[in-house]
Each structure stands twice: as C-alpha cells, then as structure tokens.
C-alpha cells in the first residue's frame, strides 16, 4: 500500500541493467560536457550526474485541461520520493487533452499525444518514467506511448473530484448534466436551477467523479498493474493522493534497479484482469478502444471477442453512476479497487505482476470492504451480467458494442423503424423538428461520426431523445452509431459500429424507414434489407473526400477502425528505447 514505505536502502542498490542515462551524462568528453553543462543552468549539482537513475515525470498539466490542473503539485510529490531513493527526477510536459474544451474531440489527438510521449521518452536520457494522467484520453495516450518505449514505468492518476453537491444532494459529473438538461427540455427543471448546479458539480480539483471514462481508465491502470494500490479512487483533494504520488516516486527508482519494464506487467493475463474488472465496476465503453490499442502496442492479441467472452459472466458490483447510485469519493471510503478485486477474486488471474513488485492478488486479498452498498458482494450485484456485449450482423460485421448495465432491459431485444441522421449537424438540425416522424419504437441511426468520418470518433453516440418524446415521458430509445459515448452517459446505445459509414460500412446504406433488429442476448445487430438491395445502394455510395493537409490528413490516412482500437496502423507494436545516434 502507498502508506507503507519500504526502508531506505543503506548503500547504492545494484541495478540489473546498464542505465540509458549514462550514455548522455557519463562520458568525460565534449558530448558529456554538453549534456551536463546545459542542465546545470537549472542549479543541478554535480552529484546528480553520478549514474543514479534518471526518472522522467511526464506531465499533462494544463489550465486548458481542468481535470489535470493540479498536476504540477503532484509532480512535486513524485520528485520527493525519487530524491529520497537516490534518483534524479526531471519533469517534462507533453500535449494535454481536456475533454471539456477541445474540438472536434480529444480522441482525434490521443494517438498524436502517444507519439509525443513515445518520442520524448526515447530521445532523452531517461531510465524510468512516471506518467501523470487524469482526464479521459491522457491515460491511454501516455500508456500507449510509454509502452512503445518499454522502460520501467508507473502511472499516477490525478484522482477524482469530491462528490458534487447541489441543494442538499450529491450530483455527479456528466451523468447529472445529461439528466438535468433532459429535465429542462421536458419542462421539469427551471433553466436558472440548471445553471446554479454548475459550480456545485465541479467543486474541487480532480477529474469526473462518476464511473466515467477517467475513473474507468484510472481503475484500468490499477487493475492492469501499472499503478500502486488505491490509485483509482483516492480523491484528488485528499492528502493521500499526494502520498501515493510520493510513494510512486520512491518505487520507480526501485523499479529501474529491478529493470521492471512495462512489458513484464502488460501480459495477456493482466489484460484479461482489466476486462473482468471493467465488468465489475460498470466501466466506460471507451475502455474497449483504449485497451485494444494498448494491447496492440505490446503485441498482445486482444480482440473485441475477448471483451465479450471474458466480461459477460462478471457481475457489476460497484454501485456508481452512471450505472448505479454513488460516486468515486464514496468508492474510496468503501475500499476502492482492491476491495473490488478481492470480491471478484474467482475471476482474476491472481499471479499477474504489478508495479509495486507484488501480484495483483497479494495487493488485494486482504482488502476490506467498508460499505457493501457501494461495493456489493458477488451474491447481491447491481447487474447480474456486467461487461460489454459485442454485437455483429450486417450493420457491423467487424463488431459494435453496447453496455448492458446502462441500457433499458426492455429495449435489449427490439425491432424498429430506422430514423437516419446523415451526420451530427443533420441530427442537431432535425431532432426537434415537430415534423420529424419518430416515436418511442423508432431506432435512431447516426452516421459519419466514426474515426475517419467526424474525424476522431467523438462522444455523440448517446443522441438526445427528441423533446416531444421526452415530454411524453420517454427516457430511452435504441440508438445506433459509429461514434463513441461519454463514460458518464447511459441508455440503450449501440456504439463503435465497424466498419464505420465513412469507410464504407453498411451504416452508410441505411435509409429512414428500414427495419433494424437489435438482439443483445443473441449478440445480433441486423439491418433487415436484402443483400441485393444493399448492393444496389452501395453502387450509388461515394466515399467522403479526405482532408488535404496537416495532422488531419495523417489521421485520415492511417487511423484504424474501432475493432483495432482506433490506433494508427504505423504505431502498432513497439520500438524499444534505444537511440544509437548522438545529436552533435
């Protein structure tokens, strides 16, 4: 646990490997002079260049990423730990990705950040790395980039905000925004009350405190073994978050001495644990694309079918919004992720190694559960079968996903008439058109919102229900798209249809009035139109033109589909950390 430090080593520990940093700081020649001398302009004394482990602290701090705005403070706590153990910490910035502000979507830039991280680590004299991650995409982006270098690495998540408070009750980031805004449209809430909730929702440092994508990814960090125990749940404002950062700083120095590289932790067994834990926590659908991409970086053959097969028997036992009732602060006080792993021990690969040098089971087997309403026992789950269901059929031959725990049970088997929206602008223009022919049994179809089509695969898949239906008391409908959905959202929402419409998927051929069948139990998603008719429609279809220049062009030419994690084709795999050439 982070608050149980190992004793300080009395003599300099012996490393298993030669340090990379020695190639920069070691030589007593012109190049060594250049490397050391310029660094000394920061007031760094001679002894820091004596061959001790150099630890990079990869920081996604930015005032444009409010969820990570406290990270300079966290970095200072990591540095304390590194110095204590005889290491030499050097903090560096990488591009940050803030969900609330970035357009058209942070997902467009996840791979770009992973390249920034990979190349910055490789190009510099680092022996180990601590990754500071928080807002949704910062976690997968940094892990993907670092995995392609494969140095000893620890992830420190920034922690969730304290529970939101509004007029005497708890409110959760994202989830309650969706609920309140639907209430305003349905005439159940005054606009001034809605606006009053703003400051109560985000009342401390930290990321979204629902079990949205940020909390899910922080849980994935812990479940896969890349973070210290308790990494997922300690609130950002709790002093124990700083303690955890301090202990990560101590531990990364030891990990360098042990040559505990990422590839020793990111094993097939560790990925399987993540899928099962995601089912138990009712985690975000976004975890699917991020984990597929991460697995691709370390050569693990993880597929969509693994998500379905490994997750389907795992009950959701964490009672957090959007699937349940509570928030991350409650989750921490209840025992956090170690308590969950202990509860679902029968589903866990117990020997998977973690960054503290212990197995996942050694870290969790004695973890107490202090609140069995927040973390339910296995025999009293929130949802019997959690996990992610993978659907196939002519509408998604390469797969689409749905999160059953966030869907309406009565809609999971459904046939309905398609109402098609060509893109997000078409959707916004027509959804509240009084003349739109749509009822509660219709199936809303949104296309051209996938990786290539938008571009960037934004979180627009949980299309809002038409106001006229909301006023009739309809709160959920079947929705299908090639987009993603916010981890804080809910509903009978089919996402990530692959291939996407812009890549020529069948989604591009659906017409308003067609019939669609959704059968979650049978894992089926079918457009009930004959093959002959679809072939004729395909002849009339023309692919959208790509973007001419810049990063958007690179993205459009190289991004893979959702079933491959939306990574770039040329980034799959890893190149290690070796750089044979000097810069001078």
Residues at the site binding ligand FES, with contacts judged by CB under 6 A: 67, 99-100, 135-136, 173, 207-208, 212, 214
**Nearer Cβ to ligand FES, position 207 or 290?**
207
Say how far apart CA 239 and CA 244 lie, in whole Å: 9
Residue 102 CB, shortest distance to ligand FES, in Å, is: 10
* Residue with Cβ nearer ligand FES (96 or 442): 96
Cβ closest to ligand FES, residue 214 vs residue 348: 214
Cβ 253 to ligand FES shortest distance, Å: 29
What does the alpha-carbon distance between residue 583 and residue 567 come to, in Å, rounded to a whole number? 30
Shortest separation between residue 369's beta carbon and ligand FES, angstroms: 26
- CB burial of 282-301 (b: ≥16 within 10 Å; e: otherwise) equals bbbbbbbbbbbbbbbbbebe
H or E element: which one contains 369? none
Which of 148, 142, 117 has the alpha carbon at shortest distance from 570? 148
Beta bridge partners of 400: 391
Cα distances (angstroms) measured from residue 275 to each of 79, 290, 363, 500, 561: 32, 12, 18, 24, 20
Closest CB to ligand FES among residues 155, 508:
155
Give min distance, CB of 220 to ligand FES, in A: 14
DSSP letter for 300, please. Answer: -
Q: Are residues 78 and 248 in contact, defined by beta-carbon separation less than 8 angstroms? A: yes
Residue closer to ligand FES by CB (options 281, 302) is: 281
| Beta carbon of residue 317, minimum distance to ligand FES (angstroms, whole number) | 23
What six digits make up the tokens of 488?
């804080």
Backbone phi, psi, residue 294, to 5°: -65, -40
- For tokens 């996402």, the residue is 495
Of residues 135 and 489, the one with the C-beta less far from ligand FES: 135
What minimum distance in Å lies between the beta carbon of 287 and ligand FES?
A: 14
Nearer to ligand FES, 177 or 375 (CB): 177
CB-nearer residue toward ligand FES: 79 or 207: 207
Minimum separation from the CB atom of position 513 to ligand FES (A)? 38
Integer-rounded Cα Rg, in Å, for the chain is: 24
- What's the first-to-final CA gap in the chain, in angstroms? 45
**Run of H or E including 157:** strand 153-157
* Residue whose tokens read 């079990």: 211
Q: Least distance from C-beta 99 to ligand FES, angstroms?
A: 4
d(CA 207, CA 106): 15
Which position has the token pair 């870290």? Answer: 363
- Residue with Cβ nearer ligand FES (9 or 100): 100
Task: Please state the closest distance from residue 30 (CB atom) to ligand FES, in A.
Answer: 46
Q: How far apart are CA 69 and CA 205, in angstroms?
A: 7
Contacts of 578 (CB under 8 A, 6+ apart): none
Closer by beta carbon to ligand FES, 172 or else 324? 172
The sign of the dihedral angle between the CA atoms of 128, 155, 224, 332 is positive
220: Cβ contacts below 8 Å, ≥ 6 apart: 139, 274, 277, 278, 283, 287, 290, 291
Indicate the SS3 state at residue 120.
helix
Q: Given the complex with ligand FES, which of 212 and 416 has the nearer CB atom?
A: 212
Helix (H, G, I), strand (E, B) or coil at 326: strand
Q: Of 133 and 363, which has the nearer Cβ to ligand FES?
A: 133
- The helix/strand/coil state of 472 is coil
DSSP state of 508: G
> What's the closest the beta carbon of residue 69 comes to ligand FES, in angstroms?
10
CB-nearer residue toward ligand FES: 133 or 369: 133
Report the run of H or E that residue 554 belongs to, with start and end.
Answer: helix 550-558
d(CA 574, CA 189): 52
Q: State the nearest-atom distance from the C-beta of 114 to ligand FES, in Å.
A: 18
The span from the CA of 224 to the CA of 353, in Å, is 9
Q: How far is the CB of 349 from ligand FES (least distance, A)?
A: 29
Question: Closest distance between ligand FES and the C-beta of residue 413, in Å?
Answer: 32
Token pair recorded at residue 548: 């001419």
Q: What are phi and psi of 199, to 5 degrees?
A: -75, -25
372, 273 Cβ separation under 8 angstroms: no
CB 327, CB 210: distance < 8 Å = yes
> Which of 64/429 has CB closer to ligand FES?
64
Looking at residue 404, the DSSP 8-state letter turns out to be G
Minimum CB–partner distance for residue 564 and ligand FES (Å): 25
User: Least Å distance between CB 100 and ligand FES?
Assistant: 5
Is beta strand 413-421 parallel, antiparallel or unpaired with respect to 443-446? parallel
In the bound state with ligand FES, the residue whose beta carbon lies nearer, of 214 and 256, is: 214
């Amino acid at each position: 646990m982070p608050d149980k430090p190992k004793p300080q080593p009395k003599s300099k520990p012996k490393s298993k490997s030669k340090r990379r940093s020695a190639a920069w700081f070691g030589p007593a020649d012109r190049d060594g002079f250049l490397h050391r001398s310029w660094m000394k302009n920061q007031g760094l004394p001679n002894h820091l260049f004596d061959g001790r482990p150099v630890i990079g602290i990869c920081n996604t701090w930015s005032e444009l990423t409010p969820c990570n705005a406290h990270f300079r403070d966290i970095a200072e706590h990591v540095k304390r730990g590194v110095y204590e153990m005889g290491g030499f910490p050097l903090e560096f910035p990488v591009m940050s990705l803030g969900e609330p502000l970035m357009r058209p979507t942070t997902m467009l830039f996840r791979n770009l950040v992973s390249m920034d991280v990979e190349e910055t680590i490789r190009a510099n004299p680092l022996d180990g790395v601590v990754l500071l991650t928080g807002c949704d995409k910062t976690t997968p982006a940094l892990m993907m980039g670092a995995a392609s270098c494969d140095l000893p690495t620890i992830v420190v998540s920034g922690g969730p905000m304290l529970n939101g408070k509004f007029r005497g009750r708890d409110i959760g980031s994202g989830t309650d925004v969706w609920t309140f805004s639907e209430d305003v449209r349905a005439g159940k809430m005054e606009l001034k009350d809605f606006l009053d909730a703003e400051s109560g929702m985000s009342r401390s440092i930290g990321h979204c405190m629902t079990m949205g994508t940020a909390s899910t990814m922080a849980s994935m960090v812990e479940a896969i073994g890349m973070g210290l125990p308790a990494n997922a749940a300690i609130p950002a404002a709790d002093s124990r978050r700083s303690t955890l950062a301090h202990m990560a700083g101590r531990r990364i120095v030891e990990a360098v001495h042990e040559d505990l590289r990422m590839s020793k932790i990111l094993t097939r067994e560790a990925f399987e644990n993540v899928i099962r834990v995601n089912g138990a926590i009712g985690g975000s659908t976004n975890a699917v694309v991020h984990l597929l991409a991460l697995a691709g970086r370390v050569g693990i053959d993880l597929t969509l079918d693994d998500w379905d097969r490994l997750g389907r028997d795992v009950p959701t036992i964490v009672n957090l919004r959007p699937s349940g009732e509570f928030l991350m602060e409650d989750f921490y006080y209840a025992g956090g992720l170690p308590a969950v792993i202990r509860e679902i021990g029968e589903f866990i690969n117990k020997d998977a190694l973690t960054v503290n040098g212990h197995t996942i089971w050694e870290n969790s087997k004695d973890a107490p559960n202090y609140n069995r309403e927040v973390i339910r026992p296995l025999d009293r789950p929130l949802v019997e079968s959690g996990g992610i269901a993978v659907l196939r059929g002519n509408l998604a031959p390469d797969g689409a996903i749905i999160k059953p725990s966030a869907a309406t049970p009565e809609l999971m088997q459904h046939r309905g008439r398609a109402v098609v929206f060509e893109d997000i602008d078409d959707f916004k223009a027509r959804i509240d058109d009084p003349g739109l022919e749509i009822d509660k049994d219709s199936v809303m179809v949104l296309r051209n919102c996938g990786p290539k089509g938008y571009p960037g695969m934004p979180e627009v898949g949980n299309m809002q229900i038409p106001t006229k239906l909301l006023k009739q008391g309809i709160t959920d409908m079947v929705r299908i798209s090639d987009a993603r959905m916010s981890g804080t959202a809910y509903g009978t929402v089919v996402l990530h249809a692959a291939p996407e419409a812009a890549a020529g998927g069948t989604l591009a051929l659906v017409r308003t009035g067609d019939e669609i069948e959704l059968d979650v139990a049978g894992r089926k998603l079918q457009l009930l139109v004959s093959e002959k008719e679809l072939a004729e429609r395909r002849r009339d279809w023309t692919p959208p033109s790509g973007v001419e220049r810049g990063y958007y062009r690179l993205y459009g030419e190289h991004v893979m589909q959702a079933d491959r994690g939306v990574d770039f084709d040329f980034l799959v795999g890893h190149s290690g950390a070796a750089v044979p050439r000097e810069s001078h």
